[in-house]
Amino acid sequence: MRPNVAVLGAGSWGTTLASMCARHGPTTIWALEDEVAREINARHTNSLYLQGFELTPALRATRRVEEATEGAKVVVLAVPSPYFRAVLGQAAPFVPKTVPVVSVAKGLEPETLLRMTEVVAQVLPDNPRAALSGPNLAREIIAGYAAGAVVACHDAEVARHLQGVFNSGLYRVYTTHDVVGVEAAGALKNVIAVAAGMADGVGVGDNTRALIITRGLAELTRLGVAMGGEPSTFAGLAGLGDLLATCISPLSRNRHVGEQLGKGRKLEDIVGEMRMVPEGIHTCRLVLEIARRHGVETPIAREIDRVVHGEVTPLEAYRRLVRPLPGPESQ
């Protein structure tokens, strides 16, 4: 039997992760919406965020945070980055100091530009903190397909412990100590995914799509290393792996928004149809601000930000991105 796990957040990924954990030990998921919690308990489904999949029957759901965290030996935060601090703050009084807090959110806190484990450090300074990331499209994992991920923690022992908590069947978890790299990659890749989706929408072809993802990885690595991450992390599962899954899969929300923008639709209309807001949209401006502070050039993020704010059309943005740059190739 594995330790009790509390998953806070019942979107597609939180639900998938909780359902996997519930196969191996007591697991409780906190849902914002009462009807989601009820449905998970009564019917073992989450039709709002994960339609068409059966969840592990042993998974318990609640909309009371204190109930979810009661007795938990691991707490997982699976809420979008803008709501991360608020939900963690609700849970904090019920989480003992020894319990590791694991972020699976991919983004930065809007006002502070903090990474999610930095928010954990402010709210629960004594708890071990970690980030779980990788090419993890929820619908494929809940369907039982193979996938890999990394759990990042400064403490190698905690990392190994969490590896044992999250490993499940064909979902294989590796460890790393590079928390900054994993979180930076997770936040920045969504912006590149919007750009790759836009390439599809505009219809610029696979050569250009490959070029944008390649330059996107270089941009992400440049900024992530400036933030303190290690170069090899960006070439791994949490970097290139997650970037690729997000850039090529029809299941990716960020890619979808980019594609629809590329087809000439308005951002409000696209987002209005979606249940979950894609992080890439609001992350874009945050990335630009961080890049400015570190003195790093991020041309893709800059162009996507202009498109998102209606300053240029997607086609104009693409023309600028593939504009001739004479001389040697630079990373």
Answer yes or no whether residue 18 interacts with a copy of itself by CB under 8 A: no
141 near a copy of itself, rule: CB under 8 A = yes
- Tell me whether residue 153 or residue 291 sits nearer to a copy of itself (CB atom): 153
Q: Is 189 a catalytic residue?
A: yes
Note the maximum CA span of the chain: 63
Among 207, 228, 266, 311, binds a copy of itself (CB under 8 A): 207
Q: Does 41 bind a copy of itself (CB under 8 A)?
A: no
Confirm or reject binding of residue 163 to a copy of itself (CB under 8 A): yes
To the nearest 10°, report the CA torsion of 304, 181, 323, 269.
-20
Could you say which of 27, 103, 176, 283 contacts a copy of itself (CB under 8 A)?
176
Phi and psi based region of residue 214 (left: phi greater than 0; alpha: psi -120 to 50; beta: remaining): alpha
Q: Report the residue from 2, 38, 113, 174 that binds a copy of itself according to the rule CB under 8 A.
A: 174
Locate all alpha helices (DSSP H) within 113-155, ordered by sequence: 116-123, 138-142
Question: Nearer Cβ to a copy of itself, position 26 or 229?
Answer: 229
Q: Does 297 bind a copy of itself (CB under 8 A)?
A: no
CA–CA separation, 77 and 85 (whole Å): 10
What does the DSSP assignment read for 156-193?
A: HHHHHHHHHHH-BTTEEEEEES-HHHHHHHHHHHHHHH
Q: Are strands 5-8 and 129-133 parallel, antiparallel or unpaired?
A: unpaired
Q: Residue 256 in 3-state DSSP?
A: helix
Q: Helices 253-262 and 179-202 meet at what angle, rounded to 10?
A: 30
Q: Which residues ranging from 226 to 265 are in contact with a copy of itself (CB under 8 A)?
A: 232, 235-237, 240-242, 244-245, 248-249, 251
Q: Is 16 in the site for a copy of itself (CB under 8 A)?
A: no
Residues contributing to the site for a copy of itself (CB under 8 A): 134-137, 140-141, 143, 145-148, 150, 163, 167, 170, 172, 174-176, 204-211, 213-214, 217-218, 221, 232, 235-237, 240-242, 244-245, 248-249, 251, 318, 322, 324-329, 331
Which residues are the active-site residues? 189
